[in-house]
Amino acid sequence: MDLTQYLIESVENKYKNRTNLWVDSPFEKITLLSNDERGKWGEETVFDFIQKLTDFDVEWTGDYNTSQKDGVYDIIIHHNGKKIRIEVKTATRGNTKTANWQHENIYASGKWDKLILFDIDFFDFYITIIDYNEMHFNSRHPIFNRKPTLRNNQDDKYKFDFGNSQQKKGIRSGLTFHYDLTNPDEKLFADFLTNKLV
């Protein structure tokens, strides 16, 4: 048996027979990016949303978010003499019929003021904004009914995953905005960002 040829053919067969639910999605190429590339795209995109749709004085920290003395965050809003530290977590829907979004490395130790979950679906996206004091790390969140999971061998990095149920609960509670690319409403999105970010 030629093992190399077998491996090449088995990968090719697996690839040919896979189901790609992202076909025709304008976001399909995002799924080809590495986790770091996707995260950076998400941070920059959320920064652009805030800059274009609100009047806030906003900065994007780029690659410097992990070396700051006052926390771990991606975006800063300066508002009424106050610095609001925003951590952005970008997730793409899994390539499965049951929707899920995985948010990794969320700190419990007060390193951010607002958490933005930027969740990409096939033809839409969800933005959830949670204040630090609204985040529950040791119990189920009262709105999303999910408990964050402490990562293996970590003492402060949590995973907080969403499904369709969490998105619906977030929309009903006003913590989540659903933006449909086929029926966009920039005014409503701008109002959501303005009201939730300060």
Q: Is 187 exposed, middle or buried (0-12, 13-18, 19+ CB in 10 A)?
A: exposed
CATH number of 37-196, picked from 3.30.70, 3.40.1350, 3.40.50, 3.90.550:
3.40.1350
Q: What is the model's pLDDT at position 191?
A: 98
Q: What global pTM score does this model have?
A: 0.91
Per-residue pLDDT tens over the stretch 76-112: 999 999 999 999 999 999 888 899 999 999 999 989 9
Q: What confidence category does residue 8 fall into, taking pLDDT thresholds of 50, 70 and 90?
A: confident
Per-residue pLDDT tens over the stretch 170-187: 999 999 999 999 999 999
Distance CA 29, CA 152 (A): 30
Mean pLDDT of the 182-196 span = 97
Contact by Cβ (8 Å): 111, 69: no
Joined together, the tokens standing for residue 24 give 């025709």
Per-residue pLDDT tens over the stretch 25-51: 999 999 999 999 999 999 999 999 999
Secondary structure element (H or E) that encloses residue 76, with its range: strand 75-79
Percent pLDDT > 70 in the chain is 97
Per-residue pLDDT tens over the stretch 14-23: 877 778 899 9
Percent pLDDT > 90 in the chain is 77
Q: Is the pLDDT of residue 65 over 60?
A: no
